[in-house]
Amino acid sequence: MPDKAASTGKDSLLEALIPALFNKALSLSKAGRTEEALVVYADLDDRLKDATEPQWQLYGAMTLANQASCFRILQNPQAEIATHDRLIERFGNLPDTELQIYVGKSLFDKAVLLSNAEKYKDAIDSYDALIQHFSENPLPLLQSGVAKALFNKASLFSKMNETEKSIACCDDLLTRFADNKDPNIEKIVANTLLNKAGCIEKLGQHDRMIAAYDCFLNRFSDSKEADIQLCLALVSIKKAEALKNNDQLEEAFSIYESLIHRFEKDESDEMAFQLAKAYINAADILCRLQRRADENNLYTAFITRFLSTKEPSLQIAVATALIKKATNLVAKGQVKEAIDCYDLVLNSLDDSENQELKKYHILAEKEKNSLETV
């Protein structure tokens, strides 16, 4: 008959020793003594490798996870991958939810490490293992992991120039998660729709590309989330550019006009670049349609909005708009107004910090002088 007292004493010792060793390793790691922490984690791993009690299995998973993090700090990806493999093998088939979260993270982190090492096929295998293992698990955290795995898998196929496989992977993600309202998954869905459209763009399939952009716009048109709204602007511009390149000028202009109207009061730096593209591209369409008055009105709105910008590329865009507006004014015989545009280039756009702007200053000075000597 087993010695019950001895067994109880051993359990009490474990209950004191294991947390103490774990906390010691954690403290060493936080103090930057990573190699010393690894020694303690190795001792813990050896003590816990055959544990069958749930509480000690959880400590075993946490030990291996922290051990992998230490190897990451020491920039030892091979040891980190080996540690993830031990965690996956030891706990992959156990039903405990907390253990499964660690398994999912190890599968994902292993795939990222393999991807960073350009071992794309092995990385895809790890993502596939995660997807297969957790597809039916309803836990939101694990479902988010499945979505991220599908997203990264699609990106790897794209890097490997396997475009149709990348699109198929995007479609798999969208089939699973298109209607998911979890904010984290919504962002993945949004980026997946963008990536799918980008893949189709590589194939040069115009109608299919427009349909992909429309899927995004229809799905997220009412979103108030800042990142999604920025993506809405980006997708709108991409769709308009595709239409413009296909000589569908009126349709493209309508998109630019709607975009400007929707986001003209957005003051964020990120949105400023998208709005600037919309203004300039819309003005170019009006130029091609010979609608000079409307073109100049758009330049005026753009210049008013961005004249005070300090961002170099936007300063160039403003200078370009002023010079194009001046050219249109000269063609209409409005010389004074044209000179005013050149003066704005010279007096309101400081070229001391923007070397590229010097070229526009030289051009504006030359054109102004030629008008004044007529």
For 72-111, the pLDDT digits (tens) are 999 999 999 999 999 999 999 999 999 999 999 999 999 9
pLDDT at 4: 42
Mean pLDDT by 10 residues, the chain (374 residues): 46 79 96 96 94 93 97 97 97 94 97 97 97 93 95 96 96 92 88 91 90 91 86 92 94 96 89 93 95 95 93 93 95 94 92 87 93 76
Q: Which two tokens stand for residue 212?
A: 């992909």
Of 100, 92, 166, residue with least CA distance to 138: 100
Of 87, 92, 4, 104, residue with least CA distance to 48: 87
Q: Which two tokens stand for residue 118?
A: 């350009």
Q: What are phi and psi of 221, to 5 degrees?
A: -60, -30
pLDDT digit string (tens) for 310-336?
Answer: 899 999 999 999 999 999 999 999 999
Q: How far is CA 225 from the centre of its chain?
A: 15
pTM: 0.77
Q: Is 215 exposed, middle or buried (0-12, 13-18, 19+ CB in 10 A)?
A: middle
78 residue type, one letter: Q
pLDDT at 13: 64
pLDDT at 180: 87
Helices 292-306 and 312-331: angle between axes, nearest 10 degrees: 150
